[in-house]
């Protein structure tokens, strides 16, 4: 087991335990869930708005003053609940907000964890992607802000990264919508792969 996995299991927060029937899932809607995570200021909320449109509700996470936005998205003809979480740098939280973001991942067991990163700063961002993968979470990596990366002369080979990491990797510009159709398709495929027969 990875070090992250060991630490989380010591904390009683073992990795993704499967998507159905383990009795731990919070089922307010019964819909499959997509949790958007990532560092502050990488475009998570713009991505959330693109996926959900105007149909979001903002509420405090139970027992806290940290707000989580939830909305619905239609992807590949299926309705999903999408959650926008506070910015976090690591699965081992320092701030209350990071703790809530981790709780969303580990107690709500989303079918997809969409890790949004700034394509200009991949070196700084990818260690968290590896943590999420090592914790056994169903990760899709979104390389956002590729417009700014390109302007800075940074070209990222998403397909190669996908091969190396073994997870879907999609390049986007959330503000203009570039790559969002591909992202929707890959999210739908990934959630489909993770779904249970029952």
Farthest CA pair distance, the chain: 48
Q: Which does 167 bind (CB under 5 to 8 A by kind): Mg ion, ligand GTP, none?
A: none
Q: Nearest approach, Cβ of 31 to ligand GTP (angstroms)?
A: 22
Site string for Mg ion, 17-46 (x = CB under 5 A): ---------------------------xx-
Q: Tell me whether residue 4 or residue 68 sits nearer to Mg ion (CB atom).
A: 68
Q: Nearest approach, Cβ of 172 to ligand GTP (angstroms)?
A: 6
Q: What residues does 115 pair with on adjacent strands?
A: 37, 141
Task: List b or e across 147-166, with b for residues whose CB sees 16 or more CB atoms inside 10 angstroms.
Answer: bebeeeeeebebeebeeeee
- Confirm or reject binding of residue 34 to ligand GTP (CB under 6 A): no
Q: Which does 195 bind (CB under 5 to 8 A by kind): ligand GTP, Mg ion, none?
A: none
- Confirm or reject binding of residue 45 to ligand GTP (CB under 6 A): yes
- Confirm or reject binding of residue 147 to ligand GTP (CB under 6 A): yes
- Confirm or reject binding of residue 67 to ligand GTP (CB under 6 A): no
Residues touching ligand GTP: how many (CB under 6 A)?
16
Q: Rounded to 5 degrees, what angle do the CA atoms 171, 147, 58 make?
A: 70
Contacts (Cβ under 8 Å, ≥6 apart) of 85: 35, 36, 37, 44, 68, 100, 101, 104, 105
* Count of Cβ atoms closer than 10 Å to residue 60 Cβ: 11
**What are the residues binding ligand GTP (CB under 6 A)?**
38, 40-46, 87, 144-145, 147-148, 173-175
């Amino acid at each position: 087991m990875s070090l992250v996995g060991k630490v989380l299991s010591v904390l009683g927060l073992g990795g993704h335990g499967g998507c159905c029937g383990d009795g731990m899932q919070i089922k307010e809607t019964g819909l499959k869930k997509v949790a958007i995570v990532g560092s502050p200021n990488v475009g998570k909320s713009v991505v959330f708005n693109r996926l959900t449109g105007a149909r979001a509700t903002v509420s405090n996470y139970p027992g806290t003053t940290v707000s989580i936005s939830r909305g619905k998205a239609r992807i590949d003809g299926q309705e999903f609940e999408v959650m926008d979480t506070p910015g976090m740098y690591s699965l081992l939280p320092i701030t209350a907000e990071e703790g809530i973001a981790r709780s969303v991942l580990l107690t709500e067991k989303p079918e997809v964890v969409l890790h949004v990163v700034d394509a200009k700063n991949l070196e700084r961002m990818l260690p968290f992607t590896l943590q999420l993968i090592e914790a056994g979470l169903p990760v899709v990596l979104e390389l956002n802000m590729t417009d700014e990366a390109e302007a800075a002369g940074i070209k990222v080979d998403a397909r190669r990264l996908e091969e190396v990491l073994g997870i879907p990797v999609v390049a986007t510009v959330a503000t203009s919508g570039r790559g969002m159709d591909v992202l929707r398709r890959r999210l739908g495929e990934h959630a489909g792969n993770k779904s249970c027969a029952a």
